A and B are shown apart, each in its own frame.
Chain A
Amino acid sequence: MSISKLSKTDFKEFVDGLLSSGKMVMGVQAHGERFAFDVLKSAGDLRLDYDVTILPPKKYVLPQVETLLTYTLPEQYKSQYQEGEMILLGVHPYDMAAINQMDILFSQDQYDTHYMLRRKKMTIIACDVATPSKNVFAASMGTATVHEGYDILLTDIGDAYVIEAATDKGRSLVQGAAGLANASAQDEAARQAVWDKNKIELNKHPLKCKPSDIPALLDKAYNHPVWDEKARTCFACGSCNTTCPTCYCFDVQDDVSWDRTAGKRYRAWDGCLLENFATVAGNHNFRKARADRFRHRLYRKGKYVPAKIGGRIACVGCGRCITACIPDIANPVAIYNRLVEDLGVAPKK
């Protein structure tokens, strides 16, 4: 790990250098009155002071639609993989934590070659949060800061960025950047101050228990009335799924050519709140009730996925589902806190 710093002017030069390197750079930019990751064309468009993007950078790690294979009759098929290197620029800690979870999930059990090859060609430049969004609660989930997964971590300390190159990929990228200087003790202290501040401020919805209490809490909550109460006004629109950085479910479909001699198999984002998410052969839907699907999402985040990834809770506190939910029922903290009140856990230290 090497910690250095770049003035904001030099940083802009550095970004322009990345843009001329031939790699795709996806950076955070203004998008209407909100923010979004998009192809970065000029360093001037980069907005590292953003609060939260509408969609998480998941859209690059797990594309919305991805062709897995193409085939031509008779019996010729070819796996399809995404070509080219990509740099994600401006990933917030909570989104980095989500990608770290997906890296575990897609490499365990059935190793997902499509996902993993894409990840290997990806460089992630994370950045600490400079502006808290209105619904962020990352501090409650332990993701206000992140210390793994990225190649480079940027922290805005006023007139400069502290730059931590954590991998060989990261080091080779910053090496030789004009104006690069070693970070001083004061710079590192300034970075620590940003972290300390974010661990307090990124908490618009404080959770009344430790994240690690959630699986045991849910063990007692399967028949709790909160699922019916909340799901009564659920549109089953799946916006809590589509905007979630840790939701990774997909559906696989085939499409054939007009002459039926060729075709492709692709996957596309799916969401467990959608009416037919659990519809299987024979048209049987084993989670037909909205409340069943609503509960399933919270159990995935708080119990089922944690069991697969060493206990990490699969909610990173980005708050996107809270913002996206029109009837305002999706807030995971509101639900977990209600369960804490009704069912009890050891109080948060």
Chain B
Amino acid sequence: MDNVDDGSVITRQGLQCLLDALAQRGYTVVGPTVRDQAIVYEELARIEALPAGWTDEQDGGLYRLKRRSDDALFGYAVGPHSWKRFLHPPKVSLWQATRNGDELRFVPARDEPPRYAFIGVRACELAAIGIQDRVLMGDEYADPHYRSRREQAFLVALNCSEAGGTCFCDSMNTGPDVKEGYDLVLTELLDGDNHLFLIRSGSEEGAEVLAELPREPATEAHQTAATAVVEKTRGQMGRSMPQTAIPALLMDNLEHPRWDEVADRCLSCSNCTMVCPTCFCTTVEDTSDLEGGTAERSRRWDSCFTSDFSYIHGGSVRNSTRSRYRQWMTHKLATWVDQFGTSGCVGCGRCITWCPVGIDITEEVHAIHDDVSSRDKE
């Protein structure tokens, strides 16, 4: 058998062979494609569905697709979707209950999710999946719905060749280079008409799939080019998080006036939590048929920005936008570390891009940090 771990290169056609090989193995292949003027994740069969020649312009509250001068297939940053929508879907049926006289029965929802293969999982997204793994299957209460999707998933990771205007993975130490947790990893190499992908395996199954693809061994020049791609991307980061002990900074400043300022701008719309690849909160919904014989419970994504979220009899714990924004950000960046041993933020920038008023989590941390530092100097 070839030694596939030292890296190989494949062509665009080889990439099609990869999609075919995964489909052949029974995977539902999901990857980026253009839909409604955004790059989203959908089922793919052909590489023609990939966003060839597209890139994106991203800033606080701004997302626009633009043409590139080349035919890159992965020349953009992350869009509004994350892999969360496949592994931890927006809505899951949990069980059905039937009532017959005074007999009550519960039937768990039969859930046989597709075996997913994800194409183009970026380093920040791998980090996000790793975080959700800890949250949703890190203890005795492992969520069977998440686990059944996650354990079967095949991850084709991607070293980023383009950082977006709201990216800050470099300062969160989650990217832009992929380090672990993948089956295969690609780096897109574009040199004039020469369009190749450096590919490496990170698991036994990844190596098996790679062995099935038409490929050439990677040369030192390919490796050097791939390193250059990642380093160029690292230099393009649109944002950065302050390099300080953020948990202590926030928890020591829970009454900082900045929370009032951000609350004046925040619409409490919950967009940031919906696009966040690590936000995991859910609520449950109970429905029953009109005859009252069958009831169903489902689970759907929820957000700490809603009033219902913290409701206990008598009212909501967090009525003000100030308290909700503070809750979200202190959990994401501070208390998450106590709970799961890692920040809840991977620096993907989605919450900045998709905030309708362009609130920037890095700017908010900088504001508190700068104010505290300047006061410390006085």
Partners in one complex: no
Residues in B lying within 8 Å of A, measured CB to CB: none
Residues in A lying within 8 Å of B, measured CB to CB: none
